[in-house]
Amino acid sequence: MPNDEIFRCSDGHLYTATWVKASLLSLHLGFGRHIQRCPVDHHWRTASRVNVNELTDEQVAEARQHKF
Ligand SMILES: [Zn+2]
């Protein structure tokens, strides 16, 4: 899924979202941060995009279980 981006909410939850969907359903704050409804706890949170290379395999697997 090359179009998926991994995001981390301000509570530390990891999830994946397609860039297009994330852009449409979020409020942009600039600097790669925006407000999005976290699919893990369903709260509106500040989320920022995470570089996949900075995550462990476990974290990537965790993020893939939660689709925005
Ligand atoms: Zn969350």
Q: Which residues surround ligand 1, an ion (CB under 5 A)?
A: 9, 11, 13, 38, 40-41
- Domain residue ranges of the chain, discontinuous segments joined by +: 4-64
* pTM for this prediction: 0.81
Distance 2 CA to ligand 1 centre (A): 23
Separation of 8 CA from ligand 1 center, angstroms? 7
**What's the gap in Å between 40 CA and the centre of ligand 1?**
5
For the stretch 32-53, what's the b/e string if a residue is b when 16 or more beta carbons lie within 10 angstroms of its beta carbon? ebbebebbbeeeebebeebeee
Residues in a beta bridge with 27: 35
Task: Give the pLDDT band of residue 2 (cuts 50, 70, 90).
Answer: low
pLDDT digits (tens, 9 = 90+) for 42-51: 999 999 989 9
Q: What is the pLDDT of residue 27?
A: 78
Structure confidence by residue, pLDDT tens digits, 19-46: 777 777 777 777 667 898 999 999 999 9
Give the Å distance between the CA of 13 and the centre of ligand 1.
4
- CA dihedral 57→62→67→68, nearest 10 degrees, is -100
